[in-house]
Structure 1
Amino acid sequence: MAVPDFILTLRESIGTAPLWLSGVTAVVERGDDLLMVRRSDTGEWTPVTGIIDPGEHPADAAVREVLEEADLHVVPVRLAALGVTEGIVYGNGDQASYLDHTFLMRWQSGDPSPADGENTEARWFPRGDLPPMTADMRARVDAALSGDPSAQFVVAGEVRRGEHPA
């Protein structure tokens, strides 16, 4: 996975110590289909995900990540969920947790392809026939597709509606 330059600079100072980062998940819809990508690092199918650059608006980051990873032009529809990931330890020992902003996005143009090497596949799936994914990713997709105009709280792979997770 491509690591943003600002994280590489931080890692020079802090080594593999835990980082608290902001990220996005882009659940892209085109009619009754949803975009899924197969990650090159884990082989799992997920919506497009990525890290927000310093000073970047989360919705802009979601648009950028979809273009970079799947070669699609999209527009944000709404913030669907806000969640915190469990701690992750990468193969090189780097540690991170993410404040995830899940957006429902609408396809504008383009044909999906794994554009930047972070994914091995990018394609549309019917909503009723999505590939297997982790409980956390499924909760993000469910929040995006819920139709609820307010953002949901995603905690440990579970969408909590109308209540703060604490």
Structure 2
Amino acid sequence: MATPEFVLALREHVGHAPLWLSGVTAFVLDPARTRMLAVRRADTGAWTPVTGIIDPGEEPATAAVREVAEEAGVDCTALRLVDVRTHAPITYANGDVAQYLDLCFLCEHDGGEPYPADGENTQAQWFPIDAPPPMNDRFLEQLELIRADRPEARFRR
């Protein structure tokens, strides 16, 4: 994931100290809801939905749509919030520590063919929603929430 400029500016002041950051996960489905968009991360090789950091003052749903366009080159509309969770702190290879609040959105594809648009990913493609690529447990849980199609967002207690 490319580090946003505002995070780099903060790091100049706080060094490797923990940063609390807000992020988005965007599950983009085709209009028939039979396929999901996934990207293969350049840094780890893992398949994921599109993820990213919310810019200061940016609306979370707008961030999800922006990240999808930046990373996979497609247009989408954020339909609803699906899941809210906090991740354990992460220590990056350079020693930086961050912890994320993740807001997961269901999005609908509006146009464009996916491709790895910004260098953060090596692949971007559609998968059948019932046969996703190998993904970690968090993303599989979120996909199950989307497939359940409940109107309310899940909040961990």
* Category of TM-score, reference length = shorter chain: over 0.9
Question: Structure 2 residue aligned with 1:100, among 98, 102, 108?
Answer: 102
Deviation per residue, 1:100-151 (Å, 9 max, x gap): 0000000000000000000000000001111111111211222233211000
Deviation per residue, 1:2-43 (Å, 9 max, x gap): 110100000001111111100000000012000000011110
**Residue 147 of structure 2: aligned partner:** 145
Identity over aligned residues, as a percent?
A: 53
**Residue 46 of structure 2: aligned partner:** 44
Unaligned runs of 5+ in 1: 154-163
Q: 1:14-163 residue pairs with structure 2 within 5 A?
A: 14-30=14-30, 31=32, 32-153=34-155
Structure-2 separation of matches of 1:34 and 1:44: 16
Structural RMSD (CA): 0.9
Q: In structure 1, give the amino acid aligned to 2:112.
A: G
Structure-2 separation of matches of 1:73 and 1:91: 33
Contact 1:104 1:145 in 2 (8 A): no
The normalised TM-score by structure 2 is 0.96
Structure-1 separation of matches of 2:150 and 2:89: 28
Structure 1 residue matching 2:13: 3-state secondary structure: helix
**Residue 7 of structure 1: aligned partner:** 7
Structure 1 residue matching 2:70: 3-state secondary structure: helix
Structure-1 separation of matches of 2:8 and 2:148: 37
How far residue 49 of structure 1 moved from its aligned partner, in angstroms, is: 0.1
Unaligned runs of 5+ in 2: none
Structure-2 separation of matches of 1:46 and 1:90: 19
Structure 2 residue matching 1:122: 3-state secondary structure: strand
Deviation per residue, 1:33-79 (Å, 9 max, x gap): 00000011110000000000000000000000000000000001100
Q: How many corresponding residue pairs?
A: 155
Structure-1 separation of matches of 2:16 and 2:109: 37
Structure possessing the higher relative contact order (Cα contacts under 8 Å, 6 or more residues apart): 2
Q: In structure 1, give the amino acid aligned to 2:3.
A: V
Deviates more, 1:129-138 or 1:45-54: 129-138
Deviant stretches of 4+, over 4 Å: none
Structure-2 separation of matches of 1:88 and 1:144: 26
Q: In structure 2, give the amino acid aligned to 1:19.
A: L
